[in-house]
A and B are shown apart, each in its own frame.
Chain A
Amino acid sequence: MGIEQGELFGLLGPNGAGKTTLISVLSTIVRPTTGHATVCGHDVGRDQDAVRKCIGVVFQDPSLDDELTGEENLDFHGRLYGIDAETRARRIDEVLDLVELIDRRHDLVKTYSGGMRRRLEIARGLLHRPEVLFLDEPTLGLDPQTRRRIWNHILDLKDSYGTTIILTTHYMDEADQLCSRIAIIDHGKIIALDTPEAMKAALGGDLLELGIADPDPEFVKTIRSVPEVAQVSVQEDKLMVTVENGESFIPRLLSYAHDHDAPIGWVSMRKPNLEDVFINLTGREIRDEAIKEPGDRIRIFLRRKNK
Chain B
Amino acid sequence: MNFIGTVYTLWLRETTRFKRNKSRLIGSMALPLLFLVVLGAGFGGFFRYRGNVSYMEFIGPGIVGMSLLFSSMFGGLSVLWDKQFGFLKEILVAPVSRVGIMAGITLGNVTTSMLKALVFLVALLLTGLVRVDFTGILLAMLFMVLISASFVALGIAFASRMSDPHGFQLIMNFLIMPVFFLSGALFPLEGLPGWLTVLTYLDPLTYGIDGLRFAFGGPHQFSPLMNLVVLVSFLGTTTVVGVALFKRMTA
User: Which residues of A pack against B, CB within 8 Å?
Assistant: 27-30, 49-50, 52-53, 55, 57, 59, 61-68, 72, 76-77, 79-82, 108, 124
Asked if A63 and B90 make an inter-chain contact with CB atoms under 8 angstroms apart, the answer reads yes
Residue of B nearest to A83 (CB): B1
Report the bound CA distance from A67 to B93 in whole Å.
20
Asked if A65 and B95 make an inter-chain contact with CB atoms under 8 angstroms apart, the answer reads no
Q: Does B86 contact A (CB under 8 A)?
A: yes
Asked if A29 and B94 make an inter-chain contact with CB atoms under 8 angstroms apart, the answer reads no
Q: Which of B13-21, B42-50, B114-122, B205-213 contacts A (4 or more CB under 8 A)?
A: B13-21
Report the bound CA distance from A57 to B87 in whole Å.
12
Report the bound CA distance from A9 to B154 in whole Å.
44
A29/B1 contact (C-beta < 8 A), A52-B94, A63-B86, A63-B90 known: no
A29/B92 contact (C-beta < 8 A), A66-B85, A76-B13, A80-B1 known: yes
Contacts of B16 on A, CB cut-off 8 Å? 68, 72
Q: How big is chain B's contact interface, by range? A: 20 to 34
Contacts of A65 on B, CB cut-off 8 Å? 13, 17, 82, 85, 87
CB contacts under 8 Å to A, within B69-100, are 82, 85-87, 89-96
> Nearest 5 CB-CB pairs, A to B?
A82-B1, A52-B95, A63-B86, A79-B9, A53-B95
Report the bound CA distance from A53 to B91 in whole Å.
13
Residue of A nearest to B17 (CB): A67
CB contacts under 8 Å to A, within B209-251, are 250-251
Q: Does B2 contact A (CB under 8 A)?
A: yes
Chain B at the A interface: SS class: helix
Contacts of B95 on A, CB cut-off 8 Å? 49-50, 52-53, 81
Asked if B9 and A57 make an inter-chain contact with CB atoms under 8 angstroms apart, the answer reads no
B90 → A minimal CB distance (Å)? 5
Q: Does B109 contact A (CB under 8 A)?
A: no
Q: Does B113 contact A (CB under 8 A)?
A: no
Contacts of B86 on A, CB cut-off 8 Å? 59, 61-64
Contacts of B2 on A, CB cut-off 8 Å? 82
Report the bound CA distance from A79 to B89 in whole Å.
16
Asked if B93 and A77 make an inter-chain contact with CB atoms under 8 angstroms apart, the answer reads no
Contacts of A52 on B, CB cut-off 8 Å? 93-95
User: Which residues of B pack against A, CB within 8 Å?
Assistant: 1-2, 5-6, 8-9, 12-13, 16-17, 20-21, 82, 85-87, 89-96, 250-251
Contacts of B5 on A, CB cut-off 8 Å? 79, 82
A144 → B minimal CB distance (Å)? 25
Contacts of A27 on B, CB cut-off 8 Å? 93
Contacts of A79 on B, CB cut-off 8 Å? 1, 5, 8-9, 12
Q: Name A30's contact: one of B13, B87, B94, B250 (CB within 8 Å).
A: B250
Asked if B1 and A59 make an inter-chain contact with CB atoms under 8 angstroms apart, the answer reads no
Q: Name A80's contact: one of B9, B85, B89 (CB within 8 Å).
A: B9
Contacts of A28 on B, CB cut-off 8 Å? 93
B153 → A minimal CB distance (Å)? 22
Contacts of A61 on B, CB cut-off 8 Å? 86, 89
Contacts of A30 on B, CB cut-off 8 Å? 250
Q: Can you list 20 A-B contacts (CB < 8 A)?
A: A27-B93, A50-B95, A52-B95, A53-B95, A57-B89, A57-B93, A59-B86, A59-B90, A63-B87, A65-B13, A65-B85, A66-B85, A67-B20, A76-B9, A76-B13, A79-B5, A79-B9, A81-B95, A82-B2, A124-B90
Asked if A64 and B93 make an inter-chain contact with CB atoms under 8 angstroms apart, the answer reads no
Contacts of B6 on A, CB cut-off 8 Å? 80
Contacts of A50 on B, CB cut-off 8 Å? 95
Asked if A63 and B89 make an inter-chain contact with CB atoms under 8 angstroms apart, the answer reads yes
Report the bound CA distance from A62 to B6 in whole Å.
22
Report the bound CA distance from A17 to B164 in whole Å.
27
Report the bound CA distance from A61 to B82 in whole Å.
12
Report the bound CA distance from A176 to B41 in whole Å.
74
Contacts of B9 on A, CB cut-off 8 Å? 76, 79-80
B83 → A minimal CB distance (Å)? 11
Most buried by A among B2, B86, B93: B93
Report the bound CA distance from A287 to B118 in whole Å.
58
A121 → B minimal CB distance (Å)? 9
Most buried by A among B8, B12, B96: B96
Q: Name A29's contact: one of B8, B20, B87, B250 (CB within 8 Å).
A: B250
Contacts of A59 on B, CB cut-off 8 Å? 86, 89-90
B81 → A minimal CB distance (Å)? 10
Residue of B nearest to A62 (CB): B86
Contacts of B17 on A, CB cut-off 8 Å? 65, 67-68
A77/B92 contact (C-beta < 8 A), A29-B250, A65-B13 known: no
Residue of A nearest to B8 (CB): A79
Report the bound CA distance from A50 to B87 in whole Å.
21
Asked if A29 and B90 make an inter-chain contact with CB atoms under 8 angstroms apart, the answer reads no
B109 → A minimal CB distance (Å)? 15
Asked if A29 and B85 make an inter-chain contact with CB atoms under 8 angstroms apart, the answer reads no
A78 → B minimal CB distance (Å)? 9
B89 → A minimal CB distance (Å)? 5
Contacts of A55 on B, CB cut-off 8 Å? 93
